[in-house]
Amino acid sequence: MKAVRFHETGGPEVLCYEDVETPTAGPGAVRIRVAGSAFNPADGGLRGGFLPIPITLPHTPGYDVSGTVDEVGEGVTSLNVGDSVVGFIPMDADGADAEYVVAPADSLVAAPTTIPLTDAAGLPSVALTAYQALFEAGELKPGQRVLINGAGGSVGGYAVQLAKRAGAHVIATVSPRSAEAVTRAGADEIVDYTTTSILDVVTEPVDVLLNVGPITEEGFKALVPLVRDGGVVVSTTPMVPTPGDDERGVRAVTIFLHPDAAVLTELVGLVDSGDLKVEIAQRVPLPELIKVHEEAEAGRLRGKVVVVPFGED
């Protein structure tokens, strides 16, 4: 089969599109004929050797996958050959930037039926991150106010949709290019951070401050006074410390994504009911993944990119 791998860590130039032995499903696992794999910034971090996740070289990236089960390992009873699945698969194992990938059966759930199977790869890790940030760490409740800083990215887009659906009042910071999409996602207030200081426009305290974009440590601390006493600051950016305020009882929580098949099943249900939109900016053939890494490294990548090994389903 064909796959994109790196044999050493480094820049995008270490990626190779090459022939690889087709894997076999072991006990508790299934093999998937990949319909799509999603590019995420952490793929670049793994390739560059920046993330504290143990991988074995050569390594195939791509931990978001959608596809069709084509081999079932011993002991697997929850899935059958021919099932359409989607999942967030272990980041330390070989990923889905290949024609086939082996994944633990318990990391996979039935794929959405109302969108192309290829596009479903754009759902798992980013939607799970948004859910875990809002509801597990942020404990967001109906009627509360949430400020989502960096709402124009993939995690931010899902966070806006999920928070609005939960009955929260959503304030979102965006750049001009993402303002329309974030408004469409359901944000009640839009703040263009390129022209306006959020400190000047958010005059009523928020219950939850969620940061999902690049931010400086100083800039992050400056936002904490916007959070009410007893509120919470949540961040998906571990490179910058998440600030709180002990005197006012403002908690600080940094999110580290974890698998959750039950929640992913719930999110798939929201997609099929029309309550959660999966936005895909580009679909690229597997050999072009190297260019995607180059664009991301240069800061030019916009929106969610799905990699397609066999052509679009």
CA–CA separation, 208 and 137 (whole Å): 10
Q: Which pLDDT tens digit goes with each residue over 123-145?
A: 999 999 999 999 999 999 999 99
Residue 313 has pLDDT above 60, yes or no: no
Class of 2-122+279-308 in CATH:
alpha beta
Class of 125-254 in CATH:
alpha beta
The residue that leads in pLDDT, 310 or 113, is 113
Q: Quick one: pLDDT at residue 175? A: 87
Q: Which pLDDT tens digit goes with each residue over 65-122?
A: 999 999 999 999 999 999 999 999 999 999 999 999 999 999 999 999 999 999 999 9
Residue 18's DSSP bridge partners are 3
Q: Tokens for 56?
A: 């074995």
Q: Quick one: pLDDT at residue 312? A: 59
Contact 92, 55 (CB under 8 A): yes
A 10 A CB-CB count for 311 gives 10
Residue 174's DSSP bridge partners are 192
Q: Quick one: pLDDT at residue 234? A: 98
Q: Which pLDDT tens digit goes with each residue over 233-281?
A: 999 988 899 999 999 999 999 999 999 999 999 999 999 999 999 999 9
What's the average model confidence in pLDDT over 160-174?
96
Residue ranges of domains in the chain: 2-122+279-308, 125-254
Average pLDDT, the chain: 95
CA–CA separation, 289 and 296 (whole Å): 11
173: number of CA atoms within 13 Å, CB side? 22
Percent over 90 (pLDDT), the chain: 85
Residue 306 has pLDDT above 80, yes or no: yes
Q: Which pLDDT tens digit goes with each residue over 217-239?
A: 999 999 999 999 999 999 998 88
Q: Which amino acid is at 174?
A: V
| Global confidence as pTM | 0.94
A 10 A CB-CB count for 53 gives 12
pLDDT band at 51 (very low <50, low <70, confident <90, very high): confident
